Amino acid sequence: MKQRTLKEECQNERRKFKKIGQKYYHIENNEKLSWFSALQRCAEWGGHLVHLKSDEEWNLVKEKLEMGYRYWVDLNDLQTDNTFMSATTGEEAKFVKWHSGEPGPDNNEHCVELGRFDGFDMNDFYCFEKKNFICESSNEREELGECAGMQEDLWLKYQKSTGHSRELIMII
């Protein structure tokens, strides 16, 4: 059997991303990971944990999700309780769709999921719980270009958002 090069492997992974609306997403329905591992997995695939920006994107993506499943997205308040940051932008989240009563009073819930309740409103939950997750391609253009792999700027944003070093994220 032909050994695939890392680049081929990476390009193959990028084909995971399917166009939904104007952007490319991979909805992982099989593997469940902690929020940190999901963050890393999406980066390995040349993307990032999904960063929903509008009702339009939220509506398009949630149509494709499996009812009863729970999916990690890119928001977290690991740095400061109740200040939810995007690991994609490194900035405070601008679009949120909290379930009523969320984010709840439990200060140990630092990572945001869709699907805790009926439907796919947002809920903060324990980062170490293993859940399905949604990746978004970093490259939002029509044509997916060369496989970029792990992008340095994305790691810096993760670090800014979570307060954790790349090394720490990679072991948790």
77 lies in the site for Ca ion, by CB under 5 A: no
| Cβ-proximal residue to Ca ion, closest one | 104
Is residue 32 exposed (0-12), middle (13-18) or buried (19+ Cβ within 10 Å)? middle
DSSP 19: E
Q: Can you tell me the distance from the alpha carbon of 74 to that of 89, in angstroms, rounded to the nearest whole number?
A: 9
Sole binder of Ca ion in the list 40, 123, 138, 162 (CB under 5 A): 123
109 lies in the site for Ca ion, by CB under 5 A: yes
Question: Closest CB to Ca ion among 123 and 139?
Answer: 123
121 lies in the site for Ca ion, by CB under 5 A: no
Question: Closest CB to Ca ion among 109 and 136?
Answer: 109
Q: Can you tell me the distance from the alpha carbon of 103 to that of 121, in angstroms, rounded to the nearest whole number?
A: 11
Measured between alpha carbons, how far apart are the two ends of the chain, in Å?
A: 34
Shortest approach of Ca ion to residue 103 CB, angstroms?
A: 6
Residues near Ca ion (CB under 5 A) are: 102, 104, 109, 123-124
